[in-house]
Amino acid sequence: MNQTVGQALEYVKKVLSEAEMYRQAGRALMFDQETICPKKAMERQGEVAAFMDNRAFALVKDPAFEKAALTLYEGREELGEYDRVMAELLHRQYLREKNITPEKDLEYSLVFNKAFVDWNCAREASDFSLFAGSLEKVEEVQKEMISLREHEEGEEPLQLYDIMLDDYERGIRMEDLDPIFEKCRTRLGDLLEKIRKSPKKIRTDFLSRPVTDAQQKELGEYLLGLMHFDFERGAMTTTEHPFTEGIGPDDVRVTTHYYPDNFASSMYSVIHEGGHALFDMNQPRENFESFIADGKTLGMHESVSRFYENRIGRSREFIHYIYPELSRIMPQVTEGVTPDEMYEALNEVKPSLIRTEADEFTYTFHIIIRYELEKEIASGTLKIADAPQRWRDKYTQILGVTPETDRDGILQDVHWSSGFGYFPTYAIGNFYNAMYYNRMKQEIDISAALSKGDLTPVNSWMKEHVFAKADRLSPAQWITDITGRKLTADDFLDYLEEKYSAIYEL
């Protein structure tokens, strides 16, 4: 490595180390805002967090830093693998933010913070009008930020929504998703009709038996322990909309929510968020040393969380294994219920209004609805004010259920308060994990491991094949590296058809 590149590397890491201090403080404040912060303090708390993030932004906008980062990018072939990826991610960030000043960055952050606060208020009141103004501002800001970007010389210009998608899943485009989602609508729609006509009746009365918060907390901690969640490096608490926050290298926090008549909601939010946490906890230490720990995409992350939630957590073997402990913690729930009845109930197919409570089978339809709405908003054919009715129409048309309130409709998800383009990553994640599940089962006996409640071989395989390179490869390179194949929905659709044909005796 020549001296100029070496000096640039040393300087860049020094600045990024300081910036990370601000960002980590900001993440801790945002976690507080979404968990225990008093309602009247939420907006101020978000403003303080935005200030901390803005201090980090100002450091990387300094001309001396930008010059050093450019030197690294131009000399990236002289760097080790982790530092080369850092240089490439910094260059991508530079092009995105080149024309955004620290003052503008803070202005944008405050818009997103206000939108989050307004969403909370609107959701509580079930009144979209309390959020509409902020959401319009979010749309305006997101489009403005995109308009300010620089592009590599010779790079093909993208459509607006493709750029939004790319921000969450690098390289994914509407031309990729449109045919995939159409195939999902066709194959899943056909099977849904067969399930609706099936004479098989699944007993679910026990799922709504009353439980206490303490029981749900104990079950959540048991499940996280079973997943090998490291409680010395992580914590669990409650929130309105469950999420996971990787605050620092040894600080990963998961959240859930408790409903007195729906223990399964918390059970599966814990497993889902626990999957996110395992991804963060098991990434290479070098990721933090080279500041690339955020290089993984949302599709990669959602693949892991939904892998643990569904492929593991909703499997017959896993449910049979945890049944005795579930009975000990919540005896009132399992009284008079067999393990097989519990398995079938936790896998019942029933079109519903709420994405996060949706069954594994109909979940994809919830994502397709949001994808279609986002495309319409990005293209200008759908105005924010008309979105609630469009939402209701889509649910009626695609799932045959119609939300009666905004809370059960357009206000159920927090994601749009920070922009558009996230939702497709949930479905992409399902496609990814179905592909690597099929590769995994060629090498280890997943069924035998789950029957013993031993996730060690599963976690070890995930660490080696899924976690290890996620921050260093593009999504397309990553899934090909794991499976030898390009992205497809076929594995996922085949899995659903096999599993639910068996459950419903089709």
Q: How far is CA 484 from CA 172, 430, 439, 465, in A?
A: 18, 17, 9, 12
How far are the Cα atoms of 71, 81, 292, 480, 503 from residue 84, in angstroms, in the given order?
12, 5, 10, 21, 49
For residue 334, the SS3 value is: helix
Known active-site residue 376: no
pLDDT of residue 165: 97
Q: Residue 1: what pLDDT? A: 75
Identify the segments of the chain with pLDDT beneath 70: none
DSSP per-residue letters across 166-226: HHHSTT--HHHHHHHHHHHHHHHHHHHHHHHH-------GGGGS---HHHHHHHHHHHHHH
Q: Write the single-letter amino acid at 2.
A: N
Identify the three-state secondary structure at position 237.
strand
What sign results for the dihedral spanned by CA atoms 261, 270, 239, 131?
negative
3-state secondary structure of 399: coil
Neighbours of 104 (CB within 10 A): 17
Residue-level pLDDT at 399: 95
CB atoms under 10 Å from CB of 489, counted, come to 22
Other beta carbons less than 10 A from residue 155's beta carbon:
9
* pLDDT at 104 (0 to 100): 96
Note the pLDDT of residue 251. Answer: 97
pLDDT recorded at residue 262:
96
SS3 for 161? helix
**Which residue out of 97, 245, 273, 344 is catalytically annotated?**
273
Task: Locate the domains of the chain by residue range.
Answer: 3-168, 202-348+451-472
Sign, Cα dihedral of 281, 286, 289, 295: negative
Neighbours of 96 (CB within 10 A): 17
DSSP 464: I
- Cα distance between the two ends of the chain: 64
pLDDT at 101: 96
Instruction: Give the model's pLDDT for residue 98.
Output: 93
- Give burial (CB, 10 Å; 0-12/13-18/19+) of 352: middle
Q: What is the pLDDT of residue 157?
A: 84
What contacts 381, CB < 8 A, 6 or more positions away?
A: none
Residue 112 is predicted with a pLDDT of: 96
